[in-house]
């Protein structure tokens, strides 16, 4: 069992600041902290201002630079929730549907492909791997028009299928690459042992490799969550029916219809829309940071 835990332990070690690297006198260290805190404050200020403004009456929002509302006003959330065709939770659920299926699709299809690339020997493996890496750099807009035509001929416009189905076909090379890196760090003896115990390749993958890849899968899940939740272009292209809008489209509709007069409710719904991202970020920081550090993912 100790053997099995090693790879993740190694990963975590990198995360801890080397004690012996503490440099400088207390004075210089203090000034460094001061600068870092100031920079952090400047960076967080827009977010904090957004949150505080969502609790201010619309008239108070501008020209009030302070973060503490003078008059607490919760009606922004009530108004914002019902300002569009559908109550806001409909859009949250719509986004959630797309997100959940995208995560499932990405995890399974990318893990399958990654296992083949990391562990198996077959003709053309290197070529396919190079092809896969090549798609990393391919700008998506090159495929846009033909894919749109295909989806519209399949009758998939105004459904979530164009947003979900590609995720079941391992089209996200980033995640394949991430999992390949992770699987390569697992000792190969595990596969051999499973094989001797009579496991076929699929059982080995499912019972031995998948459970060990939980950290890589968590990274994939969190990144998929964040990018799908933010995704604006795909839904803009494929979803016309307002009842099917995902959260970003709903927010945009908000800005188009009410934006000029109803800042408060709009900010309130903005907070609602980014809250899940911040929540996932706080919960899954470790996986995120490790994930970016190993693949350079955004």
Partner 1 sequence: MSVLTKQAPGAAATLAAPGRRKPKRGLSRRTNQRSGYLFLLPWFIGMLFTIIPFFASLYLAFTDYNLFTEPNFVGLANFQAMFEDPRLLQSLKVTFIYTFVSVPISLAIALLVAMVLNRGLSGLSIYRSVYYLPSLLGGSVAIVMLWRYIFGNEGIVNGFLGLLGIQGPAWVTDPEFALSTLIVLNVWTFGSPMVIFLAGLRQVPAMYYEAASIDGASKWRQFRNITLPLISPIIFFNLIMQLIGSFQTFTQGYVMSGGTGGPADSTLFYNLYLYQKGFTEFEMGYASAMAWLLLMIIAIFTAINFIASKFWVFYDN
**Within positions 122 to 151, which residues make up the interface with partner 1, using CB under 8 A?**
122-123, 125, 128, 131-132, 135, 137-150
Residue (24 or 211) nearer to partner 1, CB? 24
Over the window 85 to 124, marking each residue x when it contacts partner 1 by CB under 8 A and - when it does not, the resulting string is: -----------------------xx--xx-xx---xxxx-
When binding is defined by CB under 8 A, the residue of 59, 87, 187, 240 that contacts partner 1 is 187
The burial of 97, by beta-carbon neighbours within 10 Å (0-12 exposed, 13-18 middle, 19 or more buried), is given as middle
When binding is defined by CB under 8 A, the residue of 55, 91, 267, 287 that contacts partner 1 is 267
Q: Are 81 and 89 within 8 A, CB to CB?
A: yes
119 Cβ partners below 8 Å, 6+ apart? Answer: 183, 188, 191, 209
In the complex, least distance from residue 41 CB atom to partner 1, rounded to whole angstroms: 9
Q: Which stretch binds partner 1 (CB under 8 A): 68-76, 79-87, 154-162, 163-171?
A: 163-171
Residue 292: helix, strand or coil by DSSP?
helix
When binding is defined by CB under 8 A, the residue of 8, 85, 171, 257 that contacts partner 1 is 171
Residue 279 token pair: 């929540």
Q: How far apart are CA 48 and CA 33, in angstroms?
A: 21
State the Cα torsion 57-59-62-63 to the nearest 10°.
Answer: -110
In the complex, least distance from residue 116 CB atom to partner 1, rounded to whole angstroms: 4
Residue (93 or 144) nearer to partner 1, CB? 144
Q: Which stretch binds partner 1 (CB under 8 A): 43-51, 77-85, 96-104, 156-164?
A: 43-51
In the complex, least distance from residue 216 CB atom to partner 1, rounded to whole angstroms: 16
Q: Are 67 and 201 within 8 A, CB to CB?
A: no
When binding is defined by CB under 8 A, the residue of 27, 68, 189, 198 that contacts partner 1 is 189
When binding is defined by CB under 8 A, the residue of 26, 27, 46, 198 that contacts partner 1 is 46
Q: 174, 158, 172, 179: which is closest to 102 by C-alpha?
A: 172
Size of the chain in residues: 298
Interacting positions 1-20 with partner 1 (CB under 8 A): 2-3, 6-7, 10, 14-15, 17-20
Q: Are 269 and 194 within 8 A, CB to CB?
A: no
Interacting positions 191-230 with partner 1 (CB under 8 A): 192-193, 195-196, 200-202, 205, 226, 229-230
Residue 241 token pair: 């029916």
Residue (15 or 243) nearer to partner 1, CB? 15
120 Cβ partners below 8 Å, 6+ apart? Answer: 201
Which DSSP string corresponds to 181-219?
Answer: HHHHTS-THHHHHHHHTT--HHHIIIIIIHHHTHHHHHH
Residue (84 or 113) nearer to partner 1, CB? 113
When binding is defined by CB under 8 A, the residue of 12, 32, 214, 261 that contacts partner 1 is 32
């Amino acid at each position: 069992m100790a053997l099995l835990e090693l790879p993740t332990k190694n990963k975590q070690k990198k995360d801890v600041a080397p004690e012996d690297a503490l440099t400088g006198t207390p004075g210089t260290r203090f000034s460094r902290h001061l600068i870092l805190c100031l920079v952090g404050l400047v960076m967080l200020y827009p977010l904090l201002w957004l949150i505080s403004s969502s609790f201010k009456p619309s008239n108070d929002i501008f020209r009030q630079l302070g973060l503490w509302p003078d008059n607490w006003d919760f009606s922004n959330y009530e108004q914002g929730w019902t300002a569009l065709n559908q109550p806001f939770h409909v859009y949250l659920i719509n986004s959630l549907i797309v997100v959940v299926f995208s995560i499932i699709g990405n995890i399974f299809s990318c893990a399958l492909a990654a296992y083949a690339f990391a562990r198996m020997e077959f003709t053309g493996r290197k070529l396919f791997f190079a092809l896969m890496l090549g798609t990393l750099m391919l700008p998506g807009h090159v495929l846009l028009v033909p894919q749109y035509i295909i989806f519209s001929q399949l009758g998939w416009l105004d459904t979530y299928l164009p947003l979900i189905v590609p995720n079941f076909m391992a089209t996200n090379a980033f995640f394949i690459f991430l999992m390949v890196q992770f699987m390569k760090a697992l000792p190969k003896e595990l596969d051999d042992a499973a094989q001797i115990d009579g496991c076929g390749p699929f059982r080995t993958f499912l019972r031995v490799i998948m459970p060990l890849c939980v950290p890589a899968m968590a990274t994939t899940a969190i990144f998929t969550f964040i990018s799908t939740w933010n995704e604006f272009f795909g839904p803009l292209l494929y979803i016309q029916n307002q009842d099917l809008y995902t959260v970003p489209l709903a927010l945009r509709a908000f800005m188009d219809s009410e934006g000029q007069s109803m800042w408060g409710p709009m900010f309130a719904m903005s907070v609602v829309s980014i809250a899940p991202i911040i929540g996932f970020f706080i919960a899954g920081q470790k996986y995120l940071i490790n994930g970016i550090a190993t693949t350079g993912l955004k």
